[in-house]
Amino acid sequence: MAEARSAVGEPIVPELDEDEASSYLAALKEFRRSTIRRFFRTRNQIKNGMWPTSWWNLGVTVALVSMVIVSDLDIFKCINRRLWAFGEYFYISNTPQYLYVKVVILSWLFGIFFFIIVLYVRRYLLRLLLAYKGWLYEPPAKQSWITLLWGACMRLVTGSSPSTYSCQQSLPRMPVPCLRATIRKFMKSIKPLVSQEEYDQFKKEGLEFEQKVAPKLQNFLHLKSWWSQNYVTDWWEKYVYLMNRSPVHINCNYYGLDNFKWKPTTFQCARAGAITHMIMCFKRILEREQLPAMRIRNTISVCMSQYERAFGTTRVPGEEIDELVQAHSSQSKHIIVLRKGIYYKVDMMDKEGQLLSPKAMEGIMEWIIKDADTHQDSETAKAGEHIASLTGLKRADWAKIRQEHLLEGVNKETLEKVEKAAFMVNLETISPEDIEQRSNYMLGGSGSSFWFDKSISLCFFADARYGFNAEHSWADAPVVAHIQEYCMTEE
């Protein structure tokens, strides 16, 4: 396997001063960046754990408890007496100088206690409300009074401005369908496909299954549904996708294109630089959890868990089952650019930890094209020209080749760079004439145009058109469509 080149443009990283180049300052800057990342990550985790409540709700709860403790109103006397009785367990004097200390301790203690109660009450109320499906069958202009009342309750219970993953703990669990209804629907679905004799046999076996084996399996499903958000997700991913031994590029992967007619430029490098920059911006927004949670009609929360594996994810082949492996965000700050069989590692951050600008990325793409054209007849180019086609083989065959040839020496190092990349980019030399030719190419390319195991691979044609090829097992198509929509809107 060809060793990945490192693409670096001179104008991108300025010269370091002597003081800045010292290892001490470099370590200090890295420690500062790491501390800031950890702070915001912890803040987001706390915020997500508190949703649909907020810090403001906690403050209000503590203030109300304080008011009850110091109030002399008759309506609060019973609660007031019990709170002060509990306060006697603290070995704090009741003298005036310590009285306020006891009030503060009691206020925060019981404020947090009641706040947690409010949090879980709102969370489970939201789950119950989201179980209502009547709004699906009513147009927005002609909603029933029940749906309008439900919408008002949703607005009342739902927290404001949820971040990317705030709603996850408040979503209802996947319900287990009725056993008898499942068997009935199965029988109805196969009736047009089988003969009457076969149908009668299926009906007999279905009745026997319903009476003997099915109740036990149904109970297991109910048990699993209690401790998992979706009882079918892991099984679906494992048995439908990862255990499938067929080639992924026509049995799993899918593609998408840019605008049908309009394109902002005719320069391949300019568009490649702009789009890669925008996708990295989306990645940064996603990692910081600044992407607003998806909500239908600004009311109904949508699960966002699939966004977590959008970048730096690779489907690693196995002889019996594949594995989805995602690199840590700190290890996937680069992309891999493929041009004429040569793989280029492009770091997307400058020395200050900031994203490279679209102009800088355009310069890198131009350098890559010139370098690849210069070395297209080299041993490196010939060795890597068809290496990506291995990802289009049957999964067991690809797993054996990977195990035998790509897990040692320079091949292992290069493979790690490819698999840990945020995404891949292919700078093509061809320009398909119409949308049909572009679609055909984006589905499989030349067979070695895409690393089919990567979560997202982009392809930029010579006429500045582009599209993407995405591996399916890590998420459904709307996630990649959202990224594509973001890029096209920003463009």
Specify the 3-state DSSP secondary structure of 3: coil
pLDDT, position 50 = 84
Are 309 and 470 a contacting pair, CB within 8 Å? no
Above 80 in pLDDT, residue 15?
A: no
pLDDT, position 2 = 35
- Of 70-79, 281-290, 415-424, the poorest mean pLDDT is in 70-79
Above 90 in pLDDT, residue 465?
A: yes
Q: What is the mean pLDDT of residues 457-485?
A: 94
pLDDT in tens, 157-167: 887 778 889 88
Residue 405 falls in the annotated catalytic set: no
pLDDT, position 16 = 35
Predicted TM-score of the model (pTM): 0.85
Q: Which two tokens stand for residue 42?
A: 């912890």
Average pLDDT, whole number, for the chain?
Answer: 87
Above 60 in pLDDT, residue 13?
A: no
Report strand pairing: 424-427 vs 456-460. parallel
Q: What is the mean pLDDT of residues 396-418?
A: 93
Phi/psi-derived region of residue 428, left when phi > 0, alpha when psi is between -120 and 50, beta in every other case: beta
Above 50 in pLDDT, residue 313?
A: yes
Q: What is the mean pLDDT of residues 390-394?
A: 94
pLDDT in tens, 213-250: 999 999 999 999 888 888 889 999 999 999 999 999 88
Q: What is the mean pLDDT of residues 9-27?
A: 49
Above 70 in pLDDT, residue 4?
A: no
What percent of the chain is predicted at pLDDT more than 70? 94
pLDDT, position 18 = 43
Determine which one of 249, 328, 375, 472 is catalytic.
472
DSSP string, 370-391: HHHHHTTTSHHHHHHTTGGGGG
pLDDT in tens, 31-64: 777 788 788 888 888 888 888 888 888 898 888 8
Above 50 in pLDDT, residue 252?
A: yes
Q: Which two tokens stand for residue 484?
A: 């594509």
Q: What is the mean pLDDT of residues 398-418?
A: 92
What percent of the chain is predicted at pLDDT more than 90? 53
**Letter string b/e over residues 365-376, b meaning 16 or more CB atoms within 10 A of that residue's CB:** bbbbbebbeebb
Which contacts of 416-419 are long-range, i.e. CB under 8 A and separated by 24 or more positions?
417/4, 417/334, 417/336, 417/343, 417/345, 418/4, 418/314, 418/336, 418/343, 418/451, 418/454, 419/314, 419/316, 419/325, 419/327, 419/453, 419/454
Q: Which two tokens stand for residue 125?
A: 């109320």
Q: What is the mean pLDDT of residues 462-468?
A: 94
The 8-class DSSP code of residue 355 comes to B
Above 90 in pLDDT, residue 458?
A: yes
Above 70 in pLDDT, residue 85?
A: yes
- Asked whether the CA dihedral 481, 485, 486, 491 is positive or negative, the reply is positive
- Give dist(CA 361, CA 144) in Å, integer: 53
Pick the residue with more confidence: 91 or 255?
Answer: 255
- Give dist(CA 172, CA 233) in Å, integer: 14
pLDDT, position 319 = 93
- Of 53-62, 334-343, 446-455, the poorest mean pLDDT is in 53-62
- Give dist(CA 76, CA 70) in Å, integer: 10
Q: What is the mean pLDDT of residues 436-447?
A: 91
The partner residues of 6 in beta bridges, in order of sequence, read 345
- Give dist(CA 461, CA 429) in Å, integer: 6
Q: What is the mean pLDDT of residues 363-380?
A: 91
R_g of the chain, CA atoms, integer Å: 29
DSSP string, 129-172: HHT--GGGGS-TTS--HHHHHHHHHHHHHSPSS--TTGGGGGSP
Above 70 in pLDDT, residue 436?
A: yes
CA end-to-end distance (rounded Å), the chain: 36
Report strand pairing: 342-347 vs 5-6. parallel
Of the pLDDT bands very low, low, confident and very high (cuts 50, 70, 90), residue 17 is: very low
Of the pLDDT bands very low, low, confident and very high (cuts 50, 70, 90), residue 277 is: very high
- Give dist(CA 370, CA 489) in Å, integer: 30
Of the pLDDT bands very low, low, confident and very high (cuts 50, 70, 90), residue 22 is: low
Q: What is the mean pLDDT of residues 66-77?
A: 80
pLDDT, position 471 = 95
Q: Which amino acid is at 201?
A: Q
- Give dist(CA 402, CA 411) in Å, integer: 10
- Give dist(CA 30, CA 36) in Å, integer: 10
Above 60 in pLDDT, residue 20?
A: no
- Give dist(CA 214, CA 225) in Å, integer: 16
pLDDT in tens, 197-223: 999 999 999 999 999 899 999 999 999
Specify the 3-state DSSP secondary structure of 176: coil
